[in-house]
Structure 1
Amino acid sequence: MFSNRFKDKVAIVTGAASGVGYAITNRLLQEGASVVGADLNQERLNALQSELGDRFLGVQTNVTQEDQIAELVEATVRKFGGLHIAFNVAGASKAGIIKNLSEADWDFTVDLCLKGVFLSMKHEALQMAKQGGGAIVNVASLNAHVPMYAGAAYSSAKAGVEMLTKNGALEMARDGIRVNAILPGLIETPLTAGLLASPDIQAAYLERIPMKRAAKPEEMTGPALFLASDDAGYVNGASLLVDGAWATSGYPDLSRWF
């Protein structure tokens, strides 16, 4: 079904244990890559090791800890001999309106969604530069452009990821490294399951999405892998909305649920 365009390529995927990270990991393997999946969920990583085979290595990683990111890249090189492409997917949010949002919840969200991408990019790029280049794809969000009620930390972090992507493209081009981002809209993942379980909240979202549905995680893999592929060899610093045209209509009013 898929091509072999990533044969002999080595990839890192953060947040690989579920959702979009898992979907990207699976697609990369189907297209010939060897993949190191990073996640906090060791039990799930162990299960994936059995499920996905010898071209997958799971490494328990907290992406907000620089020493663990450095070890992730080192483990990748030890296992597979190098690093060619990376997908920085790990993220989560603790919601709250600004007046009530705790410093701890702000730090959790911004550290995971923005600092984690910064640290990952830094160490991925250090290795790629030694090898003559590579490609990095960051997962930002529609919320980089569209604010979300009770989502100040998340939206701010994802806007930061988009700008970090552009800055990475500017700085790393001289090393032969391209840096791009996808900006997903609503996706059916474990992180959104609580929202989508409420018929009223789901209806509020779908009212604003012209395609009238949430995406499947697998629908993020084509755009993400395109940006990492040779077909996107002159695409650098780009932000690709993958949102079912949601950005054209704005965000639903979620204030009644907070």
Structure 2
Amino acid sequence: MASKSKATITDVARAAGVSTATAGRVLGGYGYTSEEKKEQVLKAAQHLGYRPNALARGLITGKTRTLGVVAGDIQNPFYASVLRGISNVAEANGFGLLITNSDEAQQKEVHSVELLAQKQVDGLIVTPSDTRKARHLHNLRAMGMPLVLIDRTVAGLQVDRVATDNIAAAEHAVRHLIAAGHRRIGIVAELADEESARLDMFLARAVVGDPIESETLYPSWQRLLGYIRAHRIEGLPVDPRLTLRAGSYSAAAAQAIVPRLMTAPDPPTALFTTDGTMSE
């Protein structure tokens, strides 16, 4: 008898008294086989300790039942929660995961996407590091690869996305502070990918209500819009000096810039941070 650790489809077929093709269909989960023969094959496989070869099955079916995930920063609690949710749903549906980390760097993201595509994953879940220049994602979509984006939108890329309504959420949070009696509310935000002059221009436009294309903005910029919208709705002026640009999502970055705001002659009475890690 074949060793249990090395049992093959041929061994299972012989033990079940069926053809190799029949055993392959049963163990691969494709095609039709009668219930009687299916039961024979499964019993033989269990007895021999057969373990399916996922690579071989993928070559036959064209499916690996594996999903690829490219996260921005797996150490960030936000991504940890997202990955847990993805893992729970994937496992419940019989899928495995291959997880990579981009560190919010597009070069690493491109490498991760190429690696996962070479692994023949059945679909990709990506947090894009660049919302405007993501040719590699456009190319994937054109090739027919199922693709879902997390947290952000890529300009011109028509795929499903799972994200928070950052503008509405920020507006709600800031209006809550206003309702509590605060009139000078500071905001500490990442606000990366823009020059300081662009920040001034962004604030000037948002304060007067100029239309701003928000769909492809990074989350921190969307939350800044919500902060400004709350002030406009409540009839409060927006003081640009209360907007602090941290440059990254981290407690260290926030700690480096907040003291100068809190020691100013007219400090805020409340702070709104656009990321949970900044308040750790």
Shorter-chain TM-score bucket reads: under 0.3
User: Normalising by the residue count of structure 1, what TM-score does the alignment of the two structures yield?
Assistant: 0.24
Name which structure has the greater RCO, CA cutoff 8 Å, separation 6+. 1
